[in-house]
Amino acid sequence: MKTQRIYIDTSVIGGCFDPEFAEWSNGLIADFRNGIFQPLLSEVIAAEIADAPENVQVIYAELVSFTPETLTVGESTLELADEYQKRGILTPNFYDDGLHIALATVAEADLLVSWNFKHIVRFDKIRLFNAVNIEFGYKPLQIFSPREVTTYGQEED
């Protein structure tokens, strides 16, 4: 079976140290560590992590050690992110959120995983992102929180 390629945004890494999200963020990192999923990272994440606390940077460094695919922002990515802006799906202050969506879409990630419930992991936003993605010839992007994706806590019945 093909290993699922999962694009994570920065919130998943920071979530490792947030009491509300740590259980599932750490579970997903363990899934990457155990080869259950293939992480997809990007230059956008690298830039966001540069100013993050050291403990967050340590988790990111571990993810980099798993030889993930690292996605770069190209013309197709910018075209999609710009279209999300034009359609009012995201405001200019949250352009990078659109870049995460566009990067995962262009790379044909199996999933994008985020804790960003305001701008990314929202039914109405996901429908709008995917309407643009389909219009531009891409397949729909599956978007979930780490809690819905990690194998952590899934004991056999």
156 part of a folded domain: no
Q: Which residues constitute the domain of residue 52?
A: 4-149
pTM over 0.85: yes
Name, in order, each residue with C-beta under 8 angstroms of 108's C-beta and a sequence gap of 6 or more: 5, 138, 139
Question: 47-97 pLDDT, tens per residue?
Answer: 999 999 999 999 999 999 998 999 999 999 999 999 999 999 999 999 999
3-state secondary structure the chain: CCCEEEEECHHHHHHHHCCCCHHHHHHHHHHHHCCCEEEEEEHHHHHHHCCCCHHHHHHHHHHHHCCCEEECCCHHHHHHHHHHHHCCCCCHHHHHHHHHHHHHHHCCCCEEECCCCCCCCCHHHHHHHHHHHHHCCCCCCCEECHHHHCCCCCCCC
> If you average pLDDT over every residue of the chain, what do you get?
95
- The pLDDT-based confidence of 139 (bands split at 50, 70, 90) is very high
44 part of a folded domain: yes
CATH number of 139's domain: 3.40.50.1010
154 part of a folded domain: no
Total structural domains within the chain: 1
Helix axes 123-135, 75-86, angle to 10 degrees: 130
120 part of a folded domain: yes
Query: Furthest-apart CA pair in the chain: how many Å?
Result: 48
Checking if the pLDDT of 155 tops 90, the result is no
33 part of a folded domain: yes
Rounded Cα distance, 109 and 93, in Å: 25
119 part of a folded domain: yes
27 part of a folded domain: yes
157 part of a folded domain: no
